[in-house]
Structure 1
Amino acid sequence: MVVSYSHEPFINFKEENNTRRFQESLAYIKTQLGKHYPLVINGERIETDEKTLSFNPANKDEVIGSVSLANKELAEHAMQSALDAFESWKKWLPEHRADILFRAAAIMRRRKHEFSSYLVKEAGKPWNEADADTAEAIDFLEYYARQVIELKDGVPVKSRQGEYNQYNYVPLGVGIIISPFNFPLAIMAGTATAAIVTGNTILLKPAGATPVIAAKFVELMEEAGLPKGVLNFVPCRGAEVGDYLVEHPKTRFISFTGSREVGCRIYEKAAKVQVGQKWLKRVIAEMGGKDTVVVDKDADLDLAASSIVYSAFGFAGQKCSAGSRAVVHQDVYDEVLEKAVTLTKKLTVGNPEEVSTYMGPVIHEASYKKIMSYIEVGKEEGKLIAGGNGDDSKGYFIQPTIFADVDENARLMQEEIFGPVVAFSKAKDFNHMMEIANNTDYGLTGALLTQNREHIERAREEFHVGNLYFNRGCTGAIVGYQPFGGFNMSGTDSKAGGPDYLLLHMQAKTTSETF
Structure 2
Amino acid sequence: MVLPFKHEPFTDFKVEENRKQFEAALSAVRTELGKEYPIVINGEKIYTDDKLVSINPSNKDEVIGKVSKATKEHVEQAFASAVEAYEKWRKVPVEDRAHILFRAAAIVRRRKHEFSAWLVHDAGKPWDQADGDTAEGIDFLEYYGRQMLELEKGKPVVDRANENNKYFYKAMGPGVVIPPWNFAFAIVCGTAAAPIVAGNPVLLKPSENTPVIAYKLVEVLEEAGLPKGVLNFVPGDPKEIGDYLVDHKDTHFINFTGSRATGVRIFERAAKIQEGQQHLKRVIAEMGGKDTIIVDETADLDLAAESIVHSAFGFSGQKCSACSRAVIHEDVYDEVLEKSIEIAKTLTIGNPSEENVYMASVVNQTQFDKIKNYIEIGKEEGELVFGGEADDSKGFFVHPTIFKDVDPNARIMQEEIFGPVVAFSKAKDFDELLEIANNTEYGLTGAVISTNRDHLERAREDFHVGNLYFNRGCTAAIVGYQPFGGFKMSGTDSKAGGPDYLQHFLEAKIVSEQF
Q: Same fold (TM over 0.5)?
A: yes
For residues 51 and 18 of structure 2, the distance between their equivalents in structure 1, rounded to whole angstroms, comes to 36
8 Å CA contact 1:330–1:427 kept in 2: the answer is yes
SS at match of 1:507: strand
For residues 236 and 489 of structure 1, the distance between their equivalents in structure 2, rounded to whole angstroms, comes to 27
8 Å CA contact 2:175–2:250 kept in 1: the answer is no
The residue correspondences of 1:98-247 to structure 2 (distance < 5 A) are 98-247=98-247
User: Offset at 1:236?
Assistant: 1.2
SS at match of 2:422: strand
For residues 49 and 246 of structure 2, the distance between their equivalents in structure 1, rounded to whole angstroms, comes to 24
SS at match of 2:348: coil
Residue 401 of structure 1: aligned partner: 401
For residues 218 and 2 of structure 2, the distance between their equivalents in structure 1, rounded to whole angstroms, comes to 27
Correspondence 1:428 to 2:428: yes
For residues 74 and 248 of structure 1, the distance between their equivalents in structure 2, rounded to whole angstroms, comes to 13
Stretches of structure 1 lacking an aligned partner (at least 5 in a row)? none
User: Offset at 1:6?
Assistant: 1.4
Counterpart residue type for residue 485 of structure 2: G
Given the two structures, how large is their TM-score scaled by the length of structure 1?
A: 0.99
Counterpart residue type for residue 84 of structure 2: D
Residue 385 of structure 2: aligned partner: 385
Correspondence 1:70 to 2:70: yes
For residues 401 and 219 of structure 1, the distance between their equivalents in structure 2, rounded to whole angstroms, comes to 39
Counterpart residue type for residue 337 of structure 2: L
Counterpart residue type for residue 71 of structure 1: T
- Flag as ranges the 4+ runs of structure 1 deviating above 6 A: none
The residue correspondences of 1:496-507 to structure 2 (distance < 5 A) are 496-507=496-507
For residues 275 and 478 of structure 1, the distance between their equivalents in structure 2, rounded to whole angstroms, comes to 41
Residue 21 of structure 1: aligned partner: 21
User: Offset at 1:160?
Assistant: 1.1
User: More displaced, 236-245 or 398-407?
Assistant: 236-245
The residue correspondences of 1:451-470 to structure 2 (distance < 5 A) are 451-470=451-470
For residues 312 and 269 of structure 1, the distance between their equivalents in structure 2, rounded to whole angstroms, comes to 34
User: Offset at 1:49?
Assistant: 2.1
Counterpart residue type for residue 446 of structure 2: G
Residue 61 of structure 1: aligned partner: 61
Residue 346 of structure 1: aligned partner: 346
Correspondence 1:91 to 2:82: no
User: Offset at 1:356?
Assistant: 3.6
Deviations 1:378-437 (A, max 9, x none): 000000000001010000000000000000000010000000000000011000011001
8 Å CA contact 2:52–2:236 kept in 1: the answer is no
SS at match of 2:377: helix
8 Å CA contact 1:141–1:193 kept in 2: the answer is yes
User: Offset at 1:2?
Assistant: 4.6
Report the aligned-residue RMSD: 0.7
> When the two structures are aligned, how many residues end up with a matched partner?
515
8 Å CA contact 2:291–2:444 kept in 1: the answer is yes
Deviations 1:103-155 (A, max 9, x none): 00000000000000000001010000000000000000000000000111211
For residues 238 and 280 of structure 1, the distance between their equivalents in structure 2, rounded to whole angstroms, comes to 23
For residues 79 and 125 of structure 1, the distance between their equivalents in structure 2, rounded to whole angstroms, comes to 33
Counterpart residue type for residue 249 of structure 2: P
For residues 491 and 342 of structure 2, the distance between their equivalents in structure 1, rounded to whole angstroms, comes to 35
Counterpart residue type for residue 478 of structure 1: I
User: Offset at 1:353?
Assistant: 2.4
8 Å CA contact 1:2–1:150 kept in 2: the answer is no
User: Offset at 1:355?
Assistant: 4.5
Deviations 1:311-338 (A, max 9, x none): 0000000000000000000000000000
SS at match of 1:99: helix
User: Offset at 1:354?
Assistant: 4.4
Counterpart residue type for residue 8 of structure 1: E
User: More displaced, 235-244 or 26-35?
Assistant: 235-244
For residues 10 and 51 of structure 2, the distance between their equivalents in structure 1, rounded to whole angstroms, comes to 35
The residue correspondences of 1:470-481 to structure 2 (distance < 5 A) are 470-481=470-481
Counterpart residue type for residue 80 of structure 2: Q
Counterpart residue type for residue 272 of structure 1: K
The sequence identity of aligned pairs, in percent, is 66
SS at match of 2:32: coil
The residue correspondences of 1:435-454 to structure 2 (distance < 5 A) are 435-454=435-454
Given the two structures, how large is their TM-score scaled by the length of structure 2?
A: 0.99
Residue 8 of structure 2: aligned partner: 8
8 Å CA contact 1:449–1:471 kept in 2: the answer is yes
For residues 122 and 98 of structure 1, the distance between their equivalents in structure 2, rounded to whole angstroms, comes to 29
For residues 92 and 198 of structure 1, the distance between their equivalents in structure 2, rounded to whole angstroms, comes to 10
Deviations 1:249-268 (A, max 9, x none): 11100000000000100111
Counterpart residue type for residue 207 of structure 2: A
User: Offset at 1:50?
Assistant: 1.3
For residues 507 and 314 of structure 1, the distance between their equivalents in structure 2, rounded to whole angstroms, comes to 38
Counterpart residue type for residue 393 of structure 1: S
For residues 163 and 391 of structure 1, the distance between their equivalents in structure 2, rounded to whole angstroms, comes to 72
Stretches of structure 2 lacking an aligned partner (at least 5 in a row)? none
Deviations 1:221-252 (A, max 9, x none): 10010000000000011122111110001110
Residue 410 of structure 1: aligned partner: 410
For residues 46 and 354 of structure 2, the distance between their equivalents in structure 1, rounded to whole angstroms, comes to 36
8 Å CA contact 1:290–1:415 kept in 2: the answer is yes
SS at match of 1:251: coil
Residue 317 of structure 2: aligned partner: 317
For residues 139 and 207 of structure 1, the distance between their equivalents in structure 2, rounded to whole angstroms, comes to 21
